[in-house]
Chain A
Amino acid sequence: MTRVVISGLGVVSPYGAGTKAFWEGIAAGTCAIRPITLIDTEGFRCRIAAEVPAEAVAAFDSSPRRSRADRMALAAAREAIADAHLSAEDRAGAALLVAAVGGGMLEGEAWYWEEARMGRPSPRIRALRSILPASHAETVGHRLGLGGPKETIIMACASGAAAIALGADLIRSGVVPLAVVGGVDALTRICFMGFNALKLLDTEPCRPFDRDRRGMSIGEAAAFLVLEDSERCRARGGPMYGEFLGAGMTTDAHHVTAPHPEGEGMIRAMTAALNAAGVPAGDIGYVNAHGTGTPQNDRVEASALRRVFREGGVLVSSTKSMVGHTMAAAGTIEAIATLLALQHSLIPPTANLRQLDPDVPFDCVPGVARPTPVEVGLSNSFGFGGQNVSLVFRKG
């Protein structure tokens, strides 16, 4: 069967532009969740998020006519493609799968606000075109010469992980030899206001798995991988960050916002991923958790982890403790965190974890990264309303 490896990485994160900045940030346990500057937060209880610095947003394209999310996507995808040393010919046949949720809504909101205040259509109506999630794939595909099948996947917080699984399938089934896959979400008023309304946000930076955790923190990012047929990568001497072994994708079908109380869908997703990868649970050395920091998610996820891996059977940490919940980018940026953890034999910590919740029977690597060689890792993304994706990776 065709094996799929990761031959390129690209990240635009709250630490700045580049995979290097991202890895250095999470390896140091630096929390990038700070007071919001991009939008007005007056009157809202939570007023913090992990924002991408302005110079990183413009790392590839500084055109103000392009949405923030499009620019972030371009910068991250471009880095991944360059990192993989893809030729123009490679790119012409590469698939592109983009996970998106907010789309260009930040600019769309500004247009909508203006229209509502003016009482008539705004001249900025063109922003409508780039509001939809599909705009990133259109823009990235065109600017970076990616000519293969394009797909925009929306699966709430699991979108970025689904893009990886579905892209890998295209390679395994022989449709394409290469796939550029990833996710992007820029901070939007709607996301900020919506999670505030749902009372799911902590007013302080989130504390996944902490006994006193009170909610999640929003983040923004763009993250892309290049997936490749392993034989082809080997033959051309391409970089090898690790191997994608398998994925599980399930749905709780329980409630629009709350997870199944026993984590039924999470358990099935992890189990399916392990089966697809042909790896027993005991071989997993590290789980990069969904770990949002909400009382509910972390409790249910810990319970699901206990069912799949015995208590204490695996190291667990949450990258969201540092870069916040990056929505559609989360699944991808956290897959990258997992791959780099395996590559560097260094498990990134769970920041802000001061007192482990006694109901979480795992070492969640509090505060400081843990040097540990790990051969196989698993990354969880458990989206809003029960869309679950688990990915298994082997060290490169």
Chain B
Amino acid sequence: MSAWSSEKGEGGRGERPRVVITGMGSVNACTVGGTEAVAAALARGRPAIAPVRAFATDGCRSHLAAEVEASMLSGLLNRETDRRLSRVCQLAVAACRLAAADARISGGPELGIVVGSEFGDLRSTEEFFSAFLRRGSAALSPLIFPNTVMNTMASAAAIALDARAASVTINQATIAGDLAVVRATALVAEGYATTMLAGGVDELSPPLYRHLAALGALSPMQGEGAEGCRPYAPDHNGPVLGEGATFVVLEELESARARGATLHAEVTRGVWGNIPTAPHTAQPFRVDVHSPVRRFLAELAPGLPTCCYGSGNGDPRVDDWEVALLQRELPEAFGRAGSRPPRSLAPQFGQHGGLGVLRVVAAALDAARERRPVLVHGIARGGCRTSLWIEPPP
């Protein structure tokens, strides 16, 4: 049995709706905008990682990040309707609005949203607590409290965009964005909505940055080597955080065609699975024979794909694991002498929940331009694994 696909009659279900990408929107450290802006940023490839400006990193082992400038974000917000939004919600709402405008869609009962995030709104949680600790229970803020639940970004975006079909939030390290696109594609295929905003979002906040650095989760892990994001390189020594929100608009093909939407690419396969390993580790103790991802990759014709985006972000465990998996399962493409590793966008945008969707966006643009399919692969510590097969638009 395999994961859903757009092929007719798969799994005895008859024809499942085909799912296409009809727009995109992103607020990230490099750029803000829809298809044009993101395509230009990807083409330029200029890394946005730099010393952190928004807060002090003294006493931390790490000092770099890819930050979204306040001025980039403020121009996208409406002071009246967006007054109460926390910063991570602002990022999500802004990106969703850009995506909706890019795709020329409006809200209603057929528009849903899926948001992937690694950390959610920890900043609001900290604000909520610190008010209490400093000033007692009279200082507790009912306005902040709803933000302490991780679906706050999806709720805010649903209200802003009038998205009244299902709204789902997924928490996952490293590949939250990839997983959001897989899940949203399945929801469209299952008929929960004709259109889905699928995206990922995370923000940098001082306590989060400091604590991750103290936990040794950021470059330079183990305190060795120069700080920086060098995925798959021999001297890789940890991820560098980024922030931002990126959303794609996923739509049922027939409905997209009927309204004359721009078809950027098709998501013909979206699968995810799990490789058994202890939490936060990358040491599988059993081959994932059952994994839909493994089965899907085994079905790919030998020699394909020549282009693959990967979730390797400089964390040696994640990088090495991903390379080993792809060498094992796509030996033609990755196992031969001189094979190149997957392409990582982490050096440009930093590791955050939106990064996986930026990979999907990049794959979609490549697929459309070069008229060939592109694989978006993802693996995280703890074993969550995704694969998306992005093809040129029909």
Interface residues of A (CB under 8 A from B): 1-2, 43-44, 92-93, 96, 100-101, 105, 109, 112-113, 116, 121, 125-126, 128-129, 132-135, 138-139, 141-142, 145-156, 159, 162, 166, 169, 172-177, 190, 193-199, 249-257, 265, 268, 383-387
Contacts and interface: CB of A to CB of B under 8 A. Distances in A.
Contacts of A195: 145
B133 A249 contact: no
A154 B151 CA distance: 6
B288 interface: yes
| Chain A contact residues: helix, strand, loop or mixed | mixed
A92 B289 CA distance: 9
Contacts of B189: 173
A327 to B, nearest CB: 9
Interface residues on B, range: 35 or more
Given A125-B215, A148-B274, A177 B137 contact: no
Q: Which of A43, A101, A147, A166 gathers the greatest number of chain B CB atoms within 10 Å? A: A147
Contact of B132 (A1, A159, A193): A193
Contacts of A384: 146, 149
Contacts of A257: 142, 146
Given A1-B13, A147-B286, A147-B288, A194 B274 contact: no
A66 to B, nearest CB: 11
B159 A256 contact: yes
Interface in B113-152: 113, 118-120, 125-126, 128-130, 132-133, 136-137, 140-142, 145-146, 148-152
B286 to A, nearest CB: 7
A194 B145 contact: yes
A253 B384 CA distance: 30
11 contacts: A113-B129, A134-B171, A147-B276, A148-B290, A149-B274, A174-B2, A176-B290, A177-B1, A194-B142, A250-B166, A253-B164
A147 B291 CA distance: 8
Contact of B109 (A43, A154, A268): A268
B133 A153 contact: no
Contact of B142 (A109, A149, A198): A198
B159 A255 contact: yes
Contacts of A112: 126, 129
B293 to A, nearest CB: 9
A169 B129 contact: no
B11 interface: yes
A190 B128 contact: yes
Contacts of A196: 137, 140
Interface of B: 1-4, 10-13, 84, 107, 109, 112-113, 118-120, 125-126, 128-130, 132-133, 136-137, 140-142, 145-146, 148-152, 155-156, 158-159, 161-173, 179, 183, 186, 189-190, 192, 210-211, 214-215, 271-280, 286, 288-292, 382-384
B212 to A, nearest CB: 8
A166 B166 CA distance: 11
A36 B172 CA distance: 32
Contacts of A96: 274
- Among B113, B156, B210, B274, the most chain A Cβ lie within 10 Å of the Cβ of B274
B11 to A, nearest CB: 3
Contacts of B288: 147
A253 to B, nearest CB: 4
Nearest to A197: B140
Nearest to B152: A256
A195 B145 CA distance: 8
B190 A113 contact: no
Contacts of A152: 170-172
Given A121-B211, A147-B274, A251-B167, 8 more contacts: A2-B11, A2-B12, A152-B171, A153-B169, A156-B155, A193-B140, A250-B166, A251-B163
